[in-house]
Amino acid sequence: MELEGKVALVTGASRGMGRAIALKLGRMGARVAVNYVAVDPQNEKDAQEVVAALQAVGAEAFAVEADVRDGEAVKRMVDQVAEKWGGLHILVNNAGITKDTLLLRMSEQQWDDVLDINLKGTFLCSKHALKAMIRAGWGRIISIASIAGVIGNPGQANYSASKGGIIAFTKSLAREVGSRGITVNAVAPGYIRTQMTGVLPEEIRAKFVEMIALRRPGEPEEVAELVGFLASDRAGYITAQVIGIDGGM
């Protein structure tokens, strides 16, 4: 129960890595706000299922809706969490999308959508969460980047740019807020078995596995273990870092 007394907000937590991260933080004793966006009624159902799973392991949790691209919505979400539980100590910027295609075929809308959710959303959530962390004199901001933001990936210029932006953002913000007792780090997963990667053709997935030293995809729970460590006091002297979790890809 390393995180007992701490309040966590996980964006895009209704499925995949976000779900696994929310459950990990809850098992570590944190109160967890499960963010989702109401573009699909299924998202709310999934978020409520995550809340129920958290409560089943003894964690306090509730679902909170907000589009991370919308500054006012993000502010309302953070205020709602802080008012409910008296603060906010841990932010996991997990919400993200892909809209893959070769650059010559990529529309401005495909570029904007990915950058707005992945990168602008990280900026907005971090900005609004920081106030509560500064008041507490303790905070953890952990953003989900990607190996694509480190080495690039064909057909993912928009996604790679957004994740590379998160890496640079992480390093800059860590240097702004370190004196306030707040650490800022990024996690860069490789090929993780989620709904997002599940839509890839089988031959593409097989090629990814061939590139991985461990010869298998990662699991969301493995990413969650790393995030849980970074959220804890054990990682109190780790900041401005980008930690790969890619099986040796």
For 225, the 3-state DSSP assignment is helix
Q: Which of 18, 160, 33 is nearest to 90 (CA)?
A: 33
**103 exposed, middle or buried (CB, 10 Å; 0-12, 13-18, 19+)?**
exposed
Give the separation between CA 239 and CA 22, rounded to whole angstroms.
21
Catalytic residue among 36, 159, 191, 237: 159
Give the separation between CA 233 and CA 89, rounded to whole angstroms.
12
Give the separation between CA 138 and CA 117, rounded to whole angstroms.
26
159 is catalytic: yes
The token duo for 110 is 């495909």
* Element spanning 142, H or E: strand 139-144
The token duo for 226 is 């790393």
Active site residues: 159
